[in-house]
Amino acid sequence: MKVLVINCGSSSIKYQLFDMKDESVLASGLVDKVGLNGSYIKNKRNDGDTIKLEGNIFDHQQGIEYVLGVLTSEKHGSIKELSEIEAVGHRVVHGGEVFNGSVSINNDVISTMEDVVELAPLHNPPNLKGIYAVNELMPGTPQCGVFDTAFHQTMEPKSYMYAIPYALYKKHGIRRYGFHGSSHKFVSQRLSEISNIDINNSKVITCHLGNGASIAAIKNGKSVDTSMGMTPVEGLMMGTRTGDLDVGALTFIMNKEDIGLNATNTLVNKHSGVIGVSGVSSDMREVEAAAEEGNERAILALRMYEYRIKKYIGAYAAIMGGVDAIIFTGGIGENADETRKNVVDGLEFLGVDFNHEANKGLRGKEINLSNKESRVQVWVIPTNEELVIARDTIEILNNK
């Protein structure tokens, strides 16, 4: 059974074609600069065949049409007929309060998704475009929507509510939703496959550290808290986002700098975080290199970045009454050994006995980084959000 997973961004389409018999990836690729100058599609087949085709790709529908064209082509394709694709799974960023799990997509679901657009005006519209396009191009093929927010819908009101007038929650749905749900779900479930920890009877903290970063407290397999809020700006310090910031400071900045909503949005989303503090880059490798040369602001940015993660780990251990495992994932979590070391440094009181030797230089490999006697296991588990989407799609299809 073959499943196509599609992740539509504002000007890009990422995709993977899975054979769910053995969960292998038949092909993966990217359509970039959709609707812009220099658009292209890049496809990689599992036998190593790679092709990059440049040309005009004006919208998501056209982009997906070319993806399907390449996948079924004689020369670079992985399948003969489109009908071999039995289902399509879409990543959808925001599911609001309506979607607490993945759903099979029909017209009612689409119109509910359209209602949720105002909660994620930048992300949800392109996700929907992908769904419309597949409806057009592969009519009748079952589609499934997998939401970034759904995994965190198990949070209790005491953790998802903001201390603002309750009427605002009722009126506009202002509350914490959390993101990176598929990633937190994948690595926590994967942990129980590869360790002696039973996900249904455990306290796990998952750190998804990429350019966007969030951390989640997962008790007995359910998300009980996560650092991102109504938008992906809250929580950890990120590549270009502030993370937690006193809203009083924000209104003060708006007044002093005489800036409106748009500039404020750009300020907290693009000028802040690691790049804002270091003034070097949002790319952790470049910041680390600058820190090694003694750049004080780069060093400060790194220390702040690690400090925030540690603070959240402490908080989440407190709310769960302890922790059995800490998992690092995402580009930085999987690759930055210094960051991992500095985050867990000093957590011995929680029961962490860290294996420094194993951590040193470790990049992108699934491994237990704690010593045998450690009460808290520390893991690196590479994430695979696409596979979660593919699995959910199959599950929904089978239960239909």
Binding residues for other proteins, per CB under 8 A? 11, 35-37, 40-41, 51, 53-59, 62, 65-66, 68-70, 72-73, 75, 82, 137, 257-260, 262-264, 266-267, 270-271
Cβ at position 231, least distance to other proteins in Å: 17
Which residues on neighbouring strands pair with residue 7, listed in sequence order? 14
The alpha carbon of residue 89 and the mean position of all alpha carbons in its chain are separated, in whole angstroms, by 16
Cβ at position 6, least distance to other proteins in Å: 15
Q: Which is nearer to other proteins, 118 or 395 (CB)?
A: 118
3-state class percentages of the chain: helix first, strand second, coil last, to nearest 5: 45, 20, 35
DSSP string covering 220-274: TTEEEEES--SSTTSSS--SS---S--HHHHHHHHHHTT--HHHHHHHHHHSSHH
The candidate with the shortest Cα–Cα distance to 232, out of 352, 319, 306, 152, is 152
Rg for the chain, CA atoms, rounded: 21
Residue 329: φ, ψ to 5°: -150, 180
Q: Which is nearer to other proteins, 102 or 272 (CB)?
A: 272
Q: Which is nearer to other proteins, 260 or 361 (CB)?
A: 260
Choose, from 148, 225, 324, 392, the residue flagged as catalytic. Answer: 148
Which residues on neighbouring strands pair with residue 3, listed in sequence order? 18, 87
Cβ at position 106, least distance to other proteins in Å: 24
> Which tokens in the block code for residue 206?
């998952």
Cβ at position 259, least distance to other proteins in Å: 6
Cβ at position 83, least distance to other proteins in Å: 13
Burial-class residue 270 by CB neighbours within 10 Å (0-12, 13-18, 19+): middle
Cβ at position 374, least distance to other proteins in Å: 42
| 148 labelled catalytic | yes
Q: In what order do the strands lie in the sheet with 143-147?
A: 50-54, 40-45, 24-32, 12-19, 2-8, 85-92, 143-147, 103-104
Neighbours of 305 (CB within 10 A): 27
Q: Which is nearer to other proteins, 68 or 205 (CB)?
A: 68
Q: Which is nearer to other proteins, 56 or 398 (CB)?
A: 56
Residues 275, 282 contacting (CB under 8 angstroms): yes
Residue type present at position 369: L
Q: Which is nearer to other proteins, 36 or 319 (CB)?
A: 36
Catalytic positions: 148
